[in-house]
Amino acid sequence: MNNICRSEKIRKCFDAANELKIVNEKYRRFVLNFFDHLLSIDIENGDVSQQPEEAYQYETDAAIIVKSFGIVAGLEETIFILENKGLNLSSNLYSGNEIHPGDTLLSIKGKTSTILTLERTILNILQRLSGIATITKKYTDLIAHTNCFVVATRKTFWGLLDKRAVQCGGGLTHRLSLYDAAMLKENHLTILKKSIGNQAIKTAIQESIKKFPYLRFIEVEVTSNEEFWEIVNIFNSIEAKVPKVIMFDHFLPEKITSLVEKLKTYNRHDQILLEASGNISLETVVSYAESGVDVISVGTLTHSAPSMDYSLIFK
Protein backbone atom coordinates (compact mmCIF):
# COMPACT_ATOMS: atom_id res chain seq x y z
CA MET A 1 0.00 0.00 0.00
CA ASN A 2 1.56 3.31 -1.04
CA ASN A 3 1.39 6.43 1.13
CA ILE A 4 -1.49 7.97 -0.84
CA CYS A 5 -3.69 4.87 -0.53
CA ARG A 6 -2.81 4.50 3.14
CA SER A 7 -3.62 8.15 3.76
CA GLU A 8 -7.03 7.70 2.11
CA LYS A 9 -7.68 4.64 4.28
CA ILE A 10 -6.74 6.60 7.42
CA ARG A 11 -9.11 9.42 6.51
CA LYS A 12 -11.92 6.99 5.75
CA CYS A 13 -11.51 5.48 9.22
CA PHE A 14 -10.80 8.52 11.37
CA ASP A 15 -12.33 11.54 9.62
CA ALA A 16 -16.07 12.01 10.01
CA ALA A 17 -16.01 15.44 8.33
CA ASN A 18 -19.28 15.05 6.43
CA GLU A 19 -21.19 14.17 9.59
CA LEU A 20 -20.11 17.32 11.42
CA LYS A 21 -21.41 19.98 9.07
CA ILE A 22 -24.31 22.26 9.88
CA VAL A 23 -26.10 21.08 6.71
CA ASN A 24 -26.27 17.60 8.26
CA GLU A 25 -29.65 17.36 9.99
CA LYS A 26 -28.46 15.16 12.86
CA TYR A 27 -25.55 17.48 13.67
CA ARG A 28 -27.71 20.60 13.25
CA ARG A 29 -30.23 19.20 15.72
CA PHE A 30 -27.46 18.37 18.20
CA VAL A 31 -26.04 21.91 17.96
CA LEU A 32 -29.41 23.58 18.50
CA ASN A 33 -30.41 21.31 21.41
CA PHE A 34 -27.01 21.73 23.05
CA PHE A 35 -27.12 25.52 22.77
CA ASP A 36 -30.68 25.70 24.07
CA HIS A 37 -29.59 23.60 27.07
CA LEU A 38 -26.69 25.97 27.85
CA LEU A 39 -28.94 28.99 27.39
CA SER A 40 -31.68 27.61 29.64
CA ILE A 41 -29.15 27.18 32.43
CA ASP A 42 -27.95 30.75 31.98
CA ILE A 43 -31.39 32.39 31.70
CA GLU A 44 -33.57 30.27 33.98
CA ASN A 45 -36.28 32.80 34.96
CA GLY A 46 -34.96 35.65 32.82
CA ASP A 47 -32.19 38.23 32.48
CA VAL A 48 -32.79 40.39 35.56
CA SER A 49 -30.19 42.98 34.46
CA GLN A 50 -32.30 44.28 31.57
CA GLN A 51 -34.35 46.92 33.42
CA PRO A 52 -36.21 49.00 32.49
CA GLU A 53 -37.27 46.64 29.73
CA GLU A 54 -38.16 49.36 27.22
CA ALA A 55 -34.50 50.48 27.10
CA TYR A 56 -33.53 47.20 25.42
CA GLN A 57 -36.24 46.84 22.79
CA TYR A 58 -34.61 48.73 19.89
CA GLU A 59 -32.65 47.30 16.94
CA THR A 60 -28.87 47.65 17.12
CA ASP A 61 -25.57 46.58 15.57
CA ALA A 62 -22.89 44.62 17.42
CA ALA A 63 -19.71 42.75 16.55
CA ILE A 64 -17.62 39.97 18.00
CA ILE A 65 -13.99 41.12 18.04
CA VAL A 66 -10.92 38.89 18.16
CA LYS A 67 -8.51 39.64 21.04
CA SER A 68 -5.90 36.88 20.61
CA PHE A 69 -4.21 35.01 17.75
CA GLY A 70 -5.57 31.61 16.82
CA ILE A 71 -7.77 29.45 14.60
CA VAL A 72 -11.50 30.07 14.52
CA ALA A 73 -13.96 27.24 15.16
CA GLY A 74 -17.69 27.15 15.83
CA LEU A 75 -18.47 30.03 13.47
CA GLU A 76 -20.98 28.24 11.23
CA GLU A 77 -22.66 26.78 14.31
CA THR A 78 -22.89 30.23 15.92
CA ILE A 79 -24.39 31.79 12.80
CA PHE A 80 -26.96 28.99 12.62
CA ILE A 81 -27.88 29.47 16.30
CA LEU A 82 -28.19 33.25 16.11
CA GLU A 83 -30.20 33.18 12.89
CA ASN A 84 -32.50 30.70 14.58
CA LYS A 85 -33.02 33.34 17.30
CA GLY A 86 -34.02 36.01 14.76
CA LEU A 87 -30.73 37.89 14.38
CA ASN A 88 -28.98 38.90 11.14
CA LEU A 89 -25.33 37.86 10.77
CA SER A 90 -22.43 38.46 8.41
CA SER A 91 -18.78 37.39 8.42
CA ASN A 92 -15.86 37.26 6.00
CA LEU A 93 -14.33 34.31 7.88
CA TYR A 94 -14.87 30.55 8.03
CA SER A 95 -14.06 27.97 10.66
CA GLY A 96 -10.44 26.91 10.19
CA ASN A 97 -9.27 30.41 9.24
CA GLU A 98 -6.35 32.05 11.04
CA ILE A 99 -7.43 35.11 13.05
CA HIS A 100 -5.59 38.02 14.67
CA PRO A 101 -6.30 40.56 17.43
CA GLY A 102 -8.58 43.31 16.13
CA ASP A 103 -10.27 41.17 13.48
CA THR A 104 -14.07 41.27 13.32
CA LEU A 105 -15.20 37.69 13.64
CA LEU A 106 -18.91 38.30 13.27
CA SER A 107 -21.22 41.28 12.67
CA ILE A 108 -24.65 41.06 14.32
CA LYS A 109 -27.83 43.06 13.82
CA GLY A 110 -31.01 42.62 15.79
CA LYS A 111 -32.97 43.29 18.96
CA THR A 112 -30.72 44.57 21.76
CA SER A 113 -32.30 42.37 24.45
CA THR A 114 -31.80 39.23 22.37
CA ILE A 115 -28.13 39.98 21.69
CA LEU A 116 -27.43 40.70 25.36
CA THR A 117 -29.20 37.54 26.50
CA LEU A 118 -27.26 35.34 24.07
CA GLU A 119 -23.89 37.12 24.45
CA ARG A 120 -22.14 35.04 27.10
CA THR A 121 -23.33 31.67 25.87
CA ILE A 122 -22.22 32.45 22.31
CA LEU A 123 -18.82 33.75 23.43
CA ASN A 124 -18.29 30.68 25.61
CA ILE A 125 -18.94 28.40 22.63
CA LEU A 126 -16.70 30.34 20.25
CA GLN A 127 -13.87 30.75 22.75
CA ARG A 128 -13.73 27.09 23.74
CA LEU A 129 -14.04 25.68 20.22
CA SER A 130 -11.50 28.14 18.81
CA GLY A 131 -9.13 27.21 21.63
CA ILE A 132 -9.40 23.54 20.65
CA ALA A 133 -8.78 24.36 16.98
CA THR A 134 -5.78 26.54 17.87
CA ILE A 135 -3.95 23.92 19.94
CA THR A 136 -4.80 21.25 17.38
CA LYS A 137 -3.14 23.38 14.70
CA LYS A 138 0.03 23.52 16.80
CA TYR A 139 0.16 19.72 16.86
CA THR A 140 -0.63 19.27 13.18
CA ASP A 141 1.97 21.84 12.13
CA LEU A 142 4.66 20.04 14.12
CA ILE A 143 4.07 16.72 12.31
CA ALA A 144 3.26 18.11 8.86
CA HIS A 145 6.46 16.57 7.44
CA THR A 146 5.19 13.05 8.24
CA ASN A 147 2.33 10.87 6.97
CA CYS A 148 0.78 10.83 10.45
CA PHE A 149 -2.41 12.55 11.64
CA VAL A 150 -3.44 13.98 15.01
CA VAL A 151 -6.86 12.74 16.15
CA ALA A 152 -9.33 13.59 18.90
CA THR A 153 -10.32 11.32 21.78
CA ARG A 154 -13.61 10.92 23.64
CA LYS A 155 -12.23 13.01 26.53
CA THR A 156 -14.53 15.87 25.60
CA PHE A 157 -16.88 18.18 27.47
CA TRP A 158 -19.04 19.03 24.47
CA GLY A 159 -18.98 15.87 22.35
CA LEU A 160 -19.50 16.47 18.64
CA LEU A 161 -18.77 20.20 18.92
CA ASP A 162 -15.32 19.45 20.34
CA LYS A 163 -14.68 16.89 17.61
CA ARG A 164 -15.66 19.44 14.97
CA ALA A 165 -13.26 21.98 16.51
CA VAL A 166 -10.39 19.48 16.20
CA GLN A 167 -11.20 19.23 12.49
CA CYS A 168 -11.00 23.01 12.16
CA GLY A 169 -7.44 22.83 13.47
CA GLY A 170 -6.44 20.20 10.92
CA GLY A 171 -6.94 17.10 13.06
CA LEU A 172 -9.24 14.12 12.51
CA THR A 173 -12.24 13.20 14.63
CA HIS A 174 -11.47 9.53 15.40
CA ARG A 175 -14.75 7.78 16.30
CA LEU A 176 -17.58 10.17 17.05
CA SER A 177 -18.98 8.16 19.93
CA LEU A 178 -19.65 4.58 21.02
CA TYR A 179 -21.80 3.76 18.00
CA ASP A 180 -19.64 4.15 14.87
CA ALA A 181 -16.46 2.17 15.67
CA ALA A 182 -15.55 -0.65 18.06
CA MET A 183 -12.63 -0.22 20.49
CA LEU A 184 -11.49 -2.94 22.87
CA LYS A 185 -9.47 -1.22 25.56
CA GLU A 186 -8.04 -2.31 28.90
CA ASN A 187 -11.32 -2.74 30.76
CA HIS A 188 -13.00 -4.54 27.84
CA LEU A 189 -10.08 -6.95 27.55
CA THR A 190 -10.05 -7.68 31.29
CA ILE A 191 -13.76 -8.50 31.30
CA LEU A 192 -13.58 -10.57 28.11
CA LYS A 193 -10.68 -12.71 29.29
CA LYS A 194 -12.36 -13.31 32.63
CA SER A 195 -15.73 -14.28 31.17
CA ILE A 196 -14.80 -16.07 27.93
CA GLY A 197 -11.20 -17.27 28.22
CA ASN A 198 -8.32 -17.70 25.78
CA GLN A 199 -10.31 -17.00 22.62
CA ALA A 200 -12.01 -13.95 24.11
CA ILE A 201 -10.50 -11.25 21.92
CA LYS A 202 -10.96 -13.11 18.65
CA THR A 203 -14.53 -13.99 19.58
CA ALA A 204 -15.30 -10.38 20.48
CA ILE A 205 -13.87 -9.07 17.21
CA GLN A 206 -15.77 -11.61 15.13
CA GLU A 207 -19.04 -10.90 16.94
CA SER A 208 -18.66 -7.13 16.54
CA ILE A 209 -17.96 -7.39 12.81
CA LYS A 210 -20.82 -9.84 12.29
CA LYS A 211 -23.36 -7.72 14.18
CA PHE A 212 -22.13 -4.31 12.98
CA PRO A 213 -20.61 -4.71 9.49
CA TYR A 214 -20.92 -0.95 8.88
CA LEU A 215 -18.29 -0.09 11.54
CA ARG A 216 -15.81 2.61 10.55
CA PHE A 217 -13.09 0.44 12.11
CA ILE A 218 -12.39 -2.03 14.92
CA GLU A 219 -9.48 -1.30 17.25
CA VAL A 220 -7.67 -3.16 20.03
CA GLU A 221 -5.37 -1.61 22.63
CA VAL A 222 -2.04 -3.28 23.43
CA THR A 223 0.43 -2.58 26.23
CA SER A 224 3.32 -4.93 25.37
CA ASN A 225 5.16 -6.53 22.43
CA GLU A 226 3.51 -9.86 23.21
CA GLU A 227 0.02 -8.36 23.10
CA PHE A 228 0.86 -6.56 19.87
CA TRP A 229 1.81 -9.76 18.03
CA GLU A 230 -1.18 -11.57 19.52
CA ILE A 231 -3.55 -9.00 18.00
CA VAL A 232 -1.64 -8.96 14.69
CA ASN A 233 -2.15 -12.73 14.42
CA ILE A 234 -5.82 -12.49 15.39
CA PHE A 235 -6.47 -9.75 12.83
CA ASN A 236 -4.63 -11.78 10.19
CA SER A 237 -6.91 -14.76 10.85
CA ILE A 238 -10.11 -12.77 10.37
CA GLU A 239 -11.26 -11.92 6.86
CA ALA A 240 -13.46 -8.84 6.91
CA LYS A 241 -13.78 -5.51 5.10
CA VAL A 242 -13.92 -3.58 8.38
CA PRO A 243 -10.54 -1.82 8.81
CA LYS A 244 -8.43 -3.11 11.72
CA VAL A 245 -6.45 -0.84 14.05
CA ILE A 246 -3.97 -1.51 16.85
CA MET A 247 -3.42 1.13 19.53
CA PHE A 248 -0.03 1.39 21.23
CA ASP A 249 -0.83 2.46 24.79
CA HIS A 250 2.06 4.29 26.52
CA PHE A 251 4.74 2.79 24.25
CA LEU A 252 8.02 4.64 23.77
CA PRO A 253 8.48 5.87 20.16
CA GLU A 254 11.60 3.76 19.58
CA LYS A 255 9.73 0.64 20.67
CA ILE A 256 6.96 1.41 18.19
CA THR A 257 9.50 1.96 15.40
CA SER A 258 10.98 -1.49 15.97
CA LEU A 259 7.57 -3.17 15.86
CA VAL A 260 6.49 -1.28 12.73
CA GLU A 261 9.67 -2.33 10.91
CA LYS A 262 9.09 -5.98 11.82
CA LEU A 263 5.45 -5.68 10.75
CA LYS A 264 6.64 -4.50 7.34
CA THR A 265 9.19 -7.32 7.13
CA TYR A 266 6.40 -9.86 7.74
CA ASN A 267 4.21 -8.19 5.05
CA ARG A 268 1.47 -7.40 7.58
CA HIS A 269 1.72 -3.60 7.56
CA ASP A 270 -0.75 -3.05 4.70
CA GLN A 271 -3.56 -4.81 6.54
CA ILE A 272 -3.38 -2.92 9.85
CA LEU A 273 -3.53 0.75 10.85
CA LEU A 274 -1.57 1.90 13.90
CA GLU A 275 -2.35 4.44 16.62
CA ALA A 276 -0.20 5.86 19.43
CA SER A 277 -1.83 7.06 22.63
CA GLY A 278 -0.97 8.00 26.20
CA ASN A 279 0.17 11.37 27.59
CA ILE A 280 1.51 12.61 24.24
CA SER A 281 2.47 16.29 24.31
CA LEU A 282 3.79 19.04 22.04
CA GLU A 283 7.28 18.04 23.18
CA THR A 284 6.90 14.36 22.21
CA VAL A 285 4.45 14.36 19.30
CA VAL A 286 7.14 14.57 16.59
CA SER A 287 8.92 11.47 17.91
CA TYR A 288 5.67 9.54 17.85
CA ALA A 289 4.74 10.77 14.37
CA GLU A 290 8.15 9.66 13.08
CA SER A 291 7.83 6.23 14.72
CA GLY A 292 5.62 4.93 11.92
CA VAL A 293 2.13 5.16 13.42
CA ASP A 294 -0.75 6.44 11.30
CA VAL A 295 -2.58 8.49 13.93
CA ILE A 296 -1.79 9.97 17.32
CA SER A 297 -4.67 10.50 19.73
CA VAL A 298 -4.22 13.47 22.07
CA GLY A 299 -6.69 14.00 24.91
CA THR A 300 -5.22 17.43 25.68
CA LEU A 301 -6.86 18.82 22.55
CA THR A 302 -10.31 18.64 24.11
CA HIS A 303 -9.89 18.29 27.86
CA SER A 304 -7.25 20.98 28.49
CA ALA A 305 -7.26 23.45 25.58
CA PRO A 306 -6.97 27.11 26.67
CA SER A 307 -9.84 29.24 25.42
CA MET A 308 -9.48 31.99 22.84
CA ASP A 309 -10.36 35.56 23.77
CA TYR A 310 -13.30 37.33 22.07
CA SER A 311 -15.46 40.32 23.01
CA LEU A 312 -18.91 41.32 21.87
CA ILE A 313 -19.12 45.08 21.39
CA PHE A 314 -22.17 47.24 20.59
CA LYS A 315 -21.56 49.83 17.92
Does residue 156 share a domain with residue 243?
Answer: yes
So what's the pLDDT on residue 90?
A: 97
Q: pLDDT tens for residues 5-46?
A: 999 999 999 999 899 999 999 999 999 999 999 999 999 888
Question: For residue 198, is pLDDT > 90?
Answer: no
Q: How confident is the model at residue 2 (pLDDT cuts 50, 70, 90)?
A: low
Tell me, rounded to whole angstroms, the distance of Cα 220 from its chain centroid: 20
Does residue 199 share a domain with residue 93?
Answer: no
So what's the pLDDT on residue 55?
A: 87
Does residue 78 share a domain with residue 44?
Answer: yes
- CATH code of 285's domain: 3.20.20.70
Q: pLDDT tens for residues 36-85?
A: 999 999 998 888 988 998 988 999 999 999 999 999 999 999 999 999 99
Does residue 166 share a domain with residue 127?
Answer: no
So what's the pLDDT on residue 315?
A: 85
Does residue 256 share a domain with residue 243?
Answer: yes
Q: What would the mean pLDDT of 142-161 be, rounded to a whole number?
A: 96
Does residue 165 share a domain with residue 79?
Answer: no
- CATH code of 105's domain: 3.90.1170.20
User: What is the number of domains present in the chain?
Assistant: 2
Does residue 128 share a domain with residue 39?
Answer: yes
For residue 207, count CB atoms less than 10 angstroms from its CB and return exposed for 0-12, middle for 13-18, buried for 19 or more.
exposed
Question: For residue 197, is pLDDT > 70?
Answer: no
In which domain, by residue range, is 64 found? Answer: 18-134+307-314
Does residue 216 share a domain with residue 257?
Answer: yes
CA of 120: how far to CAs of 60, 116, 156, 231, in Å? Answer: 17, 8, 21, 49
Work out the mean pLDDT of the chain and round it to a whole number: 95
Are 39 and 48 in contact, with CB atoms under 8 Å apart? no
What share of the chain in percent tops pLDDT 90? 89
Contacts of 12 (CB under 8 A, 6+ apart): 216, 243
Does residue 125 share a domain with residue 268?
Answer: no
Does residue 297 share a domain with residue 219?
Answer: yes
Task: Note the pTM of the prediction, 2 decimals.
Answer: 0.94
Does residue 158 share a domain with residue 100?
Answer: no
Question: For residue 95, is pLDDT > 70?
Answer: yes
Contacts of 210 (CB under 8 A, 6+ apart): none
Does residue 294 share a domain with residue 195?
Answer: yes
So what's the pLDDT on residue 147?
A: 96
